[in-house]
A and B are shown apart, each in its own frame.
Chain A
Amino acid sequence: MFNNFDVSASGLTAQRLRMDVIADNIANVNTTRTENGEPYRRKMPVFEEILKREINQDKSGGVRVTQITEDQSDFKMVFRPNHPDANEEGYISMPNIDITTEMIDMIDASRAYEANVTALNSAKDMALKALEIGRG
């Protein structure tokens, strides 16, 4: 009965996590030092559908984030000879983050979140309506 709500809630969780990852990317747009010595790499969440095994068929159970991968594309080389991390030629590698892409992803995540809220509200309306059977 309440699987309906869980499905929408999983969507909300996933989109919120995606938003967190995007915020992390934007915050680290100029980070040249991380634990492994490299500049910051762009992070991406990987979504996967949840399937619940049931007697007759696989039942839909929403979505989950299986892992957060790193974008393996090349770092951006910027000429900044005074920077302490610059190489002999005066270039430093900057994170492979494109701020425009992040902004677009952010709008996408926010709209997807709203869509999940709409679906959740609709299910809630239906459930409340069902409680009105036999009243009045």
Chain B
Amino acid sequence: MEPTINLLSTGLDGSWKRQEALANNVSNINTPNYKRQDVNFKDILKKQMQTTKKLTINTTKKKHIPLSNSNDPNFKISQNRSIKYRNDSNNVDVDVEMAEVAKNNIYYSTLINQVSARFNMIGNVIRKGSAN
């Protein structure tokens, strides 16, 4: 499909995954030895942006390797083991998590608006610009 929508949907997936990691941090706020998790999906997005800019390759024979557009990004959950400021070795700060949840929510909404705008654009072209 359209590369922009592909890219946006990767961003949406990443943001959703990140929300999961943040929810896990919040739910484990009283778990001893728990370390804060996060998803760094922006690197994957950057990588995908570079690959989508490239030209596509036609595969005429079976053994040709297609240029992968990294349709299946694997978002890795990383743990932050560096900070420690509580006696029970848990490093979740509820204020930081709430701020990140809010940020991530807005980021997700922005991407959704972008996707919708893209689809509207395509719709406009299909309808040749007329109202219906």
Contacts and interface: CB of A to CB of B under 8 A. Distances in A.
Interface of A: 3-4, 7-8, 10-12, 14-15, 18, 47-49, 56-57, 59-63, 108, 111-112, 115-116, 118-120, 122-123, 125-126, 129-130, 132-136
Summarize B's interface: helix, strand, loop or mixed. Answer: helix
B28 A49 contact: yes
Contacts of A14: 27, 30
A132 B112 contact: yes
B94 A62 contact: no
Interface residues of B, number: 34
A60 B98 CA distance: 18
Interface in B6-53: 12, 15-16, 19-24, 26-32, 34, 37
Summarize A's interface: helix, strand, loop or mixed. Answer: helix
Nearest to B30: A47
Given A4-B19, A115-B97, A62 B27 contact: yes
